[in-house]
Structure 1
């Protein structure tokens, strides 16, 4: 199954028209049709938009492996609680907080951590 066919499967599963699906990710009906039929390739921005808007698994959308939809944040939070049973709330909350960050926030945090590492290297 191609990426375009997977997009169509998502859209049909959600019961959305080409127009309604496209509106939610910022694309026109004609563009959606071209993606689904393989005339246009999905861009990384399209994939990320579909992932964010419809909770579609990024790996499934790009490769076809795994499940179509990702677990909700509530499911992830419950898993964190189970995995970290016995840990203090501060440790659990760090992971829960990370779930709330968007891609830009994660990139900014990464830059801050890199700068912090460099600071401590220079300090020693």
Structure 2
């Protein structure tokens, strides 16, 4: 399970310090879990799964998908990845979209579709 912790952390593009902070754990405490020096307790598993939308079966046994597959939870995981990377422009765009009405969103959709199509052609 400790190997899957490292896989999860790297998938989320987080350092041990960033990952442990999100869990409200000390970095040394988390590091001991990740390297197998300390046992991973049920409370750690529940905390990790709820914080990062991780599939508990994957974390415990390596079975199934890493993340919970509910579409809303997947979206949350993807947004968390974006925000964890620290890309200020992407964050600003996402937060800006949340302030637009339906007509303005449609305009942005048309623009993005056009950019994607242009990229495919080049």
Please give the range of the TM-score, normalised by the shorter of the 2 chains. 0.5 to 0.7
Query: In the alignment, what sits opposite 1:35?
Result: 33
User: Structure 1 stretches (4+) deviating beyond 4 angstroms?
Assistant: none
Q: Does the residue aligned with 1:65 lie in a helix, a strand or coil?
A: coil
Query: In the alignment, what sits opposite 1:68?
Result: 66
Query: How many residues are paired up?
Result: 74
TM-score, normalising length from structure 1?
0.56
Query: In the alignment, what sits opposite 1:6?
Result: 4
State the distance in 1 between where 2:14 and 2:61 align.
23
Structure 2 stretches lacking a partner, 5+ long: 74-122
Determine which structure has greater relative contact order: mean sequence separation of CA pairs < 8 Å that are 6+ residues apart, divided by chain length.
2
TM-score, normalising length from structure 2?
0.56
Task: Name the Cα RMSD after superposition.
Answer: 1.7
State the distance in 2 between where 1:74 and 1:32 align.
28
Of 42, 45, 48, which residue of structure 2 is paired with 1:44? 42
Asked which structure has the greater CA Rg, the reply is: 1
Structure 1 stretches lacking a partner, 5+ long: 76-124
| 1:74 CA drift (Å) | 3.1
